[in-house]
């Protein structure tokens, strides 16, 4: 996969370039507003094919790049080609077609991939008492795929059978390409009903609610939020926010104990629910106006913030050093996941501009970069509140043997000079310490 990083300031240019690049399945593209941050990400990735930069008048952006970008990266400029330090490939802001033609030359034409079968995460099949379509099981032997089983439409597939396959490392089942639309329609209809039932039933249904959440997350990663998924995601977010706002002191402690100590529940699911709970409780302690509206926003952030992390283990990569052993593609995916997630939400009808902004800033800095130690005081106050709650929730889930009070004490020391401190200081009131 080709890697493209851009530093663009003009909104129209950002939209045009993003549309050109993100339409390609063979290109991983990151668009930043700040040239220094874009360069930092390029150096972190270590293997970038094209770097596109927009010249900022009076700021000598082109000149600075000559000192920072490696020689083996193709630099394309948008600005005045006659500028003293303009790259060899430089286009004026109105030369969109020429820019696109040059990108095609550098990146090559996208290769179309035709497949007779489409893979679906095995977790999705827990929601069918009987199958609506034929389902095929594939395993790899000697590095090659082999079809080993076919479940016929109408056949029952028991949960313990799915779990046995998962235990053997089978994470996906396959269905025929022309059956995907019908399968998705039936699946989303079932998920919608289960989401409503399980969230309304409280703690007793945590496991059932977790199955629904992980399925929604799998579909969102694979297909985005469109069509019937819009209503499903909106309903889940709204109901989770309502549950969190109803929680009293004893509910908070009970939720925390069950979710932090039960390893049988999916980690991402537990992180979302605990972060949502803390965010809602924090909002209720403020003197802000429209508290319920603010709580709804933060529940939306918890739901969408890490949806771009396609591999479950990536949610545990918390420091820049953790990226060292990843491939270039994976480094960029993890390091830019906040910005990527926000970009995917821009066209989702029920996601407000505020939620999109907060998703980009959910680690505490403006551009959506994943560098947790660089918490900024210039981001939205809601983003800082969210970052503090997510820090507490994550640390508790990773260290269930340590009392929440002791985890809190460590976080106070770690963030004594950051914008998260005042929100962390509210934790004793929430827990009743």
Domain ranges for the chain:
2-107, 117-177, 201-431
Tokens 């402690």 correspond to 253
User: Is the overall model pTM greater than 0.75, yes or no?
Assistant: no
The answer to whether the CB of 137 falls within 8 A of the CB of 88 is no
Computed on alpha carbons and rounded to an integer, the radius of gyration of the chain in Å comes to 23
Lowest mean pLDDT, pick from 37-46, 112-121, 254-263, 363-372: 363-372
Tens of pLDDT along 295-318?
Answer: 888 888 888 888 778 777 888 877
Tens of pLDDT along 235-280?
Answer: 777 777 777 777 766 667 777 887 887 888 888 888 988 998 899 8
**Cα 181 from chain centroid (whole Å):** 24
The pLDDT of 158-170, averaged and rounded, is 83
CA distance 340 to 407: 30
Question: Which pLDDT value is given to residue 113?
Answer: 46
Question: Which pLDDT value is given to residue 392?
Answer: 92
Lowest mean pLDDT, pick from 74-88, 126-140, 201-215, 336-350: 201-215
User: CA-CA distances (angstroms) from residue 320 to 88, 317, 331?
Assistant: 33, 8, 10
Residue 75 tokens, joined: 């630099």
Highest average pLDDT, of 1-5, 152-156, 246-250, comes from 152-156
On average, the pLDDT of the chain sits at 77
Q: Is the CATH code 1.10.3720.10 the one for domain 201-431?
A: no
The answer to whether the CB of 134 falls within 8 A of the CB of 152 is yes
CATH annotation of 2-107: 3.40.50.2300
- The percentage of the chain sitting over the pLDDT mark of 90, rounded to a whole number, equals 3
Q: Is 146 helix (H, G, I), strand (E, B) or coil?
A: strand
């Amino acid at each position: 996969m080709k890697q493209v990083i851009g530093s663009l300031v003009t909104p129209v240019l950002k939209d045009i370039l993003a549309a050109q690049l993100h339409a390609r399945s063979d290109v991983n593209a990151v668009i930043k507003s700040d040239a220094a941050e874009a360069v930092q990400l390029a150096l972190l990735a270590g293997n970038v094919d094209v770097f596109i930069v927009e010249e900022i008048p009076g700021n000598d952006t082109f000149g600075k790049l000559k000192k920072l970008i490696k020689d083996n990266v193709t630099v394309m400029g948008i600005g005045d080609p006659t500028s003293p330090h303009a790259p060899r490939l430089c286009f004026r802001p109105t030369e969109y077609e020429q820019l696109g033609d040059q990108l095609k030359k550098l990146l090559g034409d996208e290769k179309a991939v035709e497949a007779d079968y489409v893979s679906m995460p095995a977790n999705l099949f827990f929601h069918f008492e009987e199958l609506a379509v034929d389902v095929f099981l594939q395993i790899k032997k000697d590095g090659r795929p082999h079809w080993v089983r076919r479940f016929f439409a109408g056949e029952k597939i028991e949960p313990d059978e799915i779990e046995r396959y998962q235990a053997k490392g089978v994470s996906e089942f396959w269905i025929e390409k022309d059956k995907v639309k019908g399968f998705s329609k039936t699946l989303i209809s079932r998920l919608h009903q289960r989401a409503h039932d399980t969230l309304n039933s409280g703690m007793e249904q945590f496991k059932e609610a977790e199955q629904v959440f992980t399925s929604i997350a799998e579909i969102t990663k694979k297909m985005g939020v469109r069509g019937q998924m819009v209503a499903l995601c909106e309903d889940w977010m709204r109901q989770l926010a309502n549950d969190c706002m109803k929680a009293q002191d004893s509910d908070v402690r009970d939720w925390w104990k069950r979710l932090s100590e039960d390893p049988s529940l999916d980690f991402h699911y537990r992180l979302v629910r605990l972060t949502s709970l803390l965010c809602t409780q924090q909002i209720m302690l403020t003197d802000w106006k429209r508290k319920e509206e603010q709580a709804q926003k933060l529940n939306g952030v918890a739901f969408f913030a890490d949806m771009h992390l396609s591999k479950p283990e990536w949610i545990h990569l918390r420091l820049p050093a953790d990226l060292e052993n990843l491939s270039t593609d994976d480094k960029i995916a993890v390091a830019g996941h906040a910005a990527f997630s926000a970009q995917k939400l821009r066209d989702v009808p029920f996601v407000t501009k505020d939620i999109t902004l907060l998703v980009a800033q959910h680690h505490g800095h403006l551009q959506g970069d994943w560098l947790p130690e660089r918490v900024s005081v210039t981001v939205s106050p809601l983003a800082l509140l969210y970052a503090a709650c997510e820090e507490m929730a994550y640390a508790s889930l990773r260290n269930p043997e340590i009392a929440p009070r002791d985890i809190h004490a460590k976080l106070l020391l770690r963030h004594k000079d950051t914008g998260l401190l005042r929100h962390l200081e509210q934790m004793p009131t929430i827990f009743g310490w």
